Structure 1
Amino acid sequence: MSIQQNLNTLINDLPETVTLVAVSKTKPNSDIMEAYHVGQRDFGENKIQDMVEKADALPKDIRWHMIGHVQRNKVKYMAGFVHLIHGIDNLKLLKEVDKQAQKHNRIIDCLLQIKIAEEDSKFGMTAAHAKTMLQTDVAALKNIRIVGVMGMATFTDNHDQIKNEFQRLKTIFEDLKSIVSPNCEMKTISMGMSGDYPLAIACGSNMIRVGSSIFGARNY
């Protein structure tokens, strides 16, 4: 099937409350434009340099999501246009986003990446760390807004394990939602990818990151 057919099938199956981020990493601009012509506007990249190049060349109404691990020294390159940063996993990074957003007179929306998987290779902070950060540090940062959480389940065929990890993120989200802070508006749970998004949605996700189910296998 074509990208447009894949996308239409996927969109028709999704609840209206769920935002689809089309993961366009490693994909050429022509593929992104094929999805764009169906009406897709949210695209996810995992490398800032790639995202900058694509944002420069493609329509300006695209909402770019930074879904990969973010290096602090590269935040400045995307601060002028990034729509949502999914992978905030420490306070130093959040402070850098705030600093660079201020230079562009912007407020940048961010998700706290929570480590719910058992794999050591996955990034993310603990629920306790996230809670402390929201309670003590975030209010001083005027150019960011924490709008939710992001998590990646363990790469496994064990359905019950994935379900437990997704449910854990939903529980953490509900707990963090109760914290009152002027620049914290918890509304987004970003979890679920091509292989597990139906389960993620059933567990409370309202934002999914889907690549191969739309664009086919990645080009490395």
Structure 2
Amino acid sequence: MIKDNLIAVKNNIETACKKRQPDMTEKIKLIAVTKNHTVEEIQQAIDADAQFIGENRIQEAMEKYPALNRNVEWHLIGHLQTNKVKQAVKIFDFIESVDSIKVAEAINKEANKINKVQNILVQVNLVKEQSKNGIYLEDLPSLLQDIDTLSSIKLCGLMFIAPNVDDLEEVRPMFKKMYKLFREVQQMHFTAAEIKYLSMGMTHDYQIAIEEGANVVRVGTAIFGPRQY
């Protein structure tokens, strides 16, 4: 089932890519989101060629990471509190949810201790949803410039979580706006940052996100089925 689901998602990604603008030629990173799914299920997905694993919670990742014994890229996509930064830096190849200089500085400190350069994305709260984390647009440029000065962090792009709405066409303008922002950020002058990734789109809206410029999508339910709580 997981293997078939993964094939279906990849086929949908391929279809969505054909609807992108001609200048959007980047390959899509499919992050398999494993929140509340077992090590066995994750192993099935990896064995079916899932190469990128996304976790929301540090505690879950700490339990699954040593048990998996698979060579994959790990992404933290959930909110990161400063008291969990040490564990996050040890496990994750990418931390997608950085939204403050406080968190970035804590990551930099812990990464420096283990001689690691931590890849991060900055989470943007485009529509100022109170229920979501992320930096507001007006504060984004200064945060990006401040992060660029941190020697043990590599700023690699932006992340966005769209509102969960019934009519998916409502989120299309938001994805368009995020892609425009992403291109603008790519034109900023940085010392070390390389703005390569725009992570947006989940199970219910990843195809629209890809059509509008995402090159990283985070898909859980469409691969693993509904979460078991």
TM-score range, shorter chain: over 0.9
Structure 2 residue 187 is matched with structure 1 residue 178? yes
Match in the other structure for 1:204: 213
Q: Amino acid of the residue matched to residue 105 of structure 1?
A: N
Give the equivalent residue in structure 2 for 1:192. 201
SS at match of 1:217: coil
Cα separation, partners in 2 of 1:13 and 1:159, compared to 1, 3 Å? closer
Letter in 2 for 1:14: I
Q: Distance in 2 between matches of 1:127 and 1:116?
A: 6
Whether 1:167 aligns to 2:166 is no
Does the CA-based 8 Å contact 1:150-1:189 persist in structure 2? Answer: yes
Please list the CA deviations of residues 66-107 of structure 1 after superposition, one character each: whole Å capped at 9, or x if unmatched: 000111110101212311111001110011111111111111
Normalising by structure 2, we get a TM-score of 0.91
Task: Describe the shift of the 1:155–1:13 C-alpha distance in structure 2 as closer, same or farther (beyond 3 A).
Answer: closer
Q: 78, 89, 112: which is aligned to 2:122?
A: 112
Query: Does structure 2 retain, via aligned residues, the 8 Å contact 1:51–1:64?
Result: no
Asked if 1:156 corresponds to 2:165, the answer is: yes
Find the partner of 2:32 among 10, 22, 31: 22
Which residue number in structure 2 is paired with residue 70 of structure 1? Answer: 80
- Please say if residues 115 and 125 of structure 1, whose CA atoms lie closer than 8 Å, have aligned partners that are also in contact: yes
- Alpha carbons 1:22, 1:42 under 8 Å: kept: yes
For structure 1, which segment, 154-163 or 140-149, has the greater mean C-alpha deviation from structure 2 after superposition? Answer: 154-163
% of aligned pairs identical? 34
Q: What residue number does 2:17 align with?
A: none
| Letter of the 1:40 counterpart | A
Deviation at 1:194, TM superposition (A): 0.5
What is the aligned residue count? 218
Amino acid at match of 2:33: V
Q: What secondary structure, in the 3-state scheme, does the structure 2 residue paired with 1:61 have?
A: coil
What's 1:5 paired with? 4
Aligned partner of 2:19 in structure 1 is none
Q: CA RMSD in A?
A: 1.4
C-alpha distance in 1 between matches for 2:77 and 2:192:
21
The DSSP-based 3-state class of the residue aligned with 2:6 is helix
Q: Flag structure 2 segments of 5+ consecutive residues without an equivalent.
A: 15-25
Contact 2:53 2:73 in 1 (8 A): yes
Partner of 1:184, secondary structure, is coil
Q: TM-score normalised to the size of structure 1? A: 0.94
